[in-house]
Amino acid sequence: MKNTKLALYALTVGAFGIGVTEFVIMGLLLDVGTDLGVSVSASGLLISGYALGVVVGAPLLTALTQHWPRKTLLLALMAVFTLGNLSCALAPTYELLMAARVLTALAHGSFFGVGSVVATGLVPPQQRASAIAIMFTGLTVANILGVPFGTWLGQHFGWRATFWAVSAVGLLAMAALAMFVPAQPASREGSSLRADLDALLRRPVLLGFATTVLGFAGLFALFTYIAPLLTQITGFSAAAVSPILLVFGGGLVIGNLAGGKLADRHLAGTVLGSLAVLAIVLALTGWALHSRVAAVLFVGLLGAASFATVAPLQMWVLDKAQGAGQSLASSFNIAAFNLGNAFGAWLGGAVIANGPGLGSLAWVAALLPLAGLAIAALAMALDRTPAAIAPANA
């Protein structure tokens, strides 16, 4: 049991480092832009470039490394992550910094995808979702502690210092993975890429990806614009936004662990229930934003409700892949989370720019997990019919 916990914590350290490097750039855009002589909007593309790297890298690297032992693959991915952050710290130009960000992002999706499979293999079947949640706790703690500290470090000692620090986390994660994660067989030992792709084409798996995209699109349609919502609608000062986001981070940790525990007891019910709760919280946030106390409360509830969906959705896709191509399916689902982030941010911006406006953002965002809920229910219905085992193009 002790060795199992240490192995899960090693995965958590890697997830923490990845979480910091993904989100800390948001607080350093002005510093990066000033140092490299580019506009804030150009600096913002460093976020988009990273997201694109995740979406492309997750399935690509997982497919290319299909015969690698999982522990070796995790170590290699963390080495890519560390090298990418070192390149960020040393990048003399904006173009090279962008390339380094994309390089770093390539490891993101595959690490979480393969790491999810490794985590579930470390524990009894009835604890698999909780194991995924423990690994993802690194991502939630990164938002509470790592990102604020990384932002402070970059603002006081230069933005490059932040990437040096994250590189050190990468080296620590590599050491922990090497010491505590047991050797495991290849991600697809005895399986062909064609069989893995056939597994991805199962209707429940494809519908699972769609559910993931819509669920997280709902969160980011609102959360991307949380600062203007809190300042322009609720009336908080700009200085109050950061402390309020700590409440969101606390909600992430609680919801993540709760979602894993509930999914271990009843996976299908937790998938449907967590999406329904997320839709309700998003809708009620539109009302809560008109009260300062209620707004802070619902920021925390939004964090809990959103990450309560993560472990259930990841576990659901792993189950639907049914052994063949689990690592590839898991990595595709990580890409689906990031695709949902990008789509939600775009949709929220369209709502603000073209109507009905900032005040209606919560109501529009709530429709997305509702759509995901409908797709999940459809997938579960199909799973009970012979058509569920046929490829989507059958």
Q: Is the pLDDT of residue 190 over 60?
A: no
User: Poorest-confidence range of 51-65, 153-167, 274-288?
Assistant: 51-65
User: Poorest-confidence range of 22-26, 210-214, 278-282?
Assistant: 22-26
Residues 129, 260: Cα–Cα separation, whole Å: 5
Rounded to two decimals, what is the model's pTM? 0.82
Whole-number average pLDDT of the chain: 87
pLDDT tens digits for range 228-249 = 899 889 999 878 887 888 899 8
pLDDT at 388: 43
Task: For residue 3, give every residue at least 6 positions away whose Cβ sits within 8 Å of its Cβ, in sequence order, or none.
Answer: 180, 182
Q: Is the pLDDT of residue 363 over 70?
A: yes
Look at 148 and 169; give whichever has higher pLDDT: 169
Residues 308, 305: Cα–Cα separation, whole Å: 5
Which phi and psi angles does 186 have, rounded to 5°?
-55, 150
Q: Is the pLDDT of residue 114 over 60?
A: yes
Q: Is the pLDDT of residue 361 over 60?
A: yes
Rounded to 10°, the helix 203-223/326-354 angle is: 40
pLDDT tens digits for range 21-80 = 988 887 787 788 889 998 866 777 788 788 888 888 877 887 788 778 889 999 999 999
Fold of 191-385: Growth Hormone; Chain: A; (1.20.1250)
pLDDT at 338: 83
Q: Among residues of the chain, what percentage have pLDDT more than 70?
A: 91
Residues 385, 136: Cα–Cα separation, whole Å: 33
Look at 13 and 198; give whichever has higher pLDDT: 13
Give the CA angle between residues 154, 158, 160 to the nearest 5°. Answer: 85
pLDDT at 392: 44
pLDDT bin (cut points 50, 70, 90) of residue 334 is: confident
Residues 60, 56: Cα–Cα separation, whole Å: 6
pLDDT at 394: 37
Give the CA angle between residues 359, 362, 364 to the nearest 5°. Answer: 100
Q: Dihedral (C-alpha) 62, 63, 65, 67: value to the nearest 10 degrees?
A: 120
pLDDT bin (cut points 50, 70, 90) of residue 391 is: very low
- Average of per-residue pLDDT across 358-383: 91
Q: Is the pLDDT of residue 308 over 90?
A: yes
Instruction: Let me know: does 103 contact 49? Beta carbons within 8 Å.
Output: no
Q: Is the pLDDT of residue 324 over 70?
A: no
Give the 3-state secondary structure of residue 201.
coil
1-183 and 191-385, same CATH topology:
yes
CATH level 2 (architecture), domain 1-183: Up-down Bundle (1.20)
Give the start-to-end residue ranges of the domains of the chain. 1-183, 191-385
pLDDT at 355: 75
- Average of per-residue pLDDT across 95-124: 90
